[in-house]
């Protein structure tokens, strides 16, 4: 009986710590600098299926001029949502040549999909309003994006 109680308490503690552990792991993610219209930003890289699925979930804040860059293997219609993400974010969908296709503002904690208007390779999430407040829009070029991943054999 005591063993079952201890196991239940252990599982409860793990569930309670999940959001904190997820944020801490993401805080140690690889980062890269980008430049958009002369503005420098620092982005965490989401390059794996797992890191793209986790994204900025459970985060309570972003540092100024910081965001997350989702990198996909090939051009595709990319859709993003805000499940378990309490931060208001804007997402820019970016073509393989580094130009912004479209930008969408996303509502916190929503499952509403926001999709690229045509195939994209990157999605850049920043604090909501970041792009608008700096005059960044469709067609803008982003410097410093990582090159495409080599095909796996």
For 84-135, what is each residue's pLDDT tens digit?
999 999 999 999 999 999 999 999 999 999 999 999 999 999 999 999 999 9
The answer to whether the CB of 131 falls within 8 A of the CB of 102 is no
Rounded Cα gap, residues 11 and 104, in angstroms: 38
Rounded Cα gap, residues 101 and 18, in angstroms: 35
Map out the domains of the chain as residue ranges: 2-143
Q: What is the pLDDT of residue 1?
A: 59
Picking from 2-16, 58-72, 74-88, which range would have the lowest pLDDT averaged per residue?
A: 2-16
DSSP assignment letter at 78: -
Q: What is the pLDDT of residue 24?
A: 34
The helix, strand and coil proportions of the chain, stated in percent and rounded to the nearest 5, come to 25, 35, 40
* CATH domain 2-143 topology: Jelly Rolls (2.60.120)
Confidence of residue 140 (pLDDT cuts 50, 70, 90): very high
DSSP assignment letter at 83: T
């Amino acid at each position: 009986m005591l063993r079952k109680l201890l196991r239940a308490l252990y599982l409860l503690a793990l569930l309670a710590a999940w959001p904190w552990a997820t944020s801490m792991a993401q805080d140690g993610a690889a980062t890269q600098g980008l430049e958009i219209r002369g503005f420098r930003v620092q982005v965490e890289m989401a390059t794996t299926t797992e890191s793209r699925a986790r994204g900025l979930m459970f985060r309570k804040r972003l540092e100024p001029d910081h965001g997350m860059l989702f990198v996909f293997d090939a051009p595709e219609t990319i859709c993003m949502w805000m499940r378990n993400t309490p931060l208001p974010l804007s997402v820019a969908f970016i073509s393989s040549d580094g130009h912004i296709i479209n930008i969408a503002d996303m509502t916190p904690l929503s499952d509403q999909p926001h999709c690229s208007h045509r195939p994209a390779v990157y999605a850049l999430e920043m604090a909501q309003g970041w792009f608008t407040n700096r005059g960044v829009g469709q067609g803008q070029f982003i410097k410093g994006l990582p090159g495409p991943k080599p095909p796996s054999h």
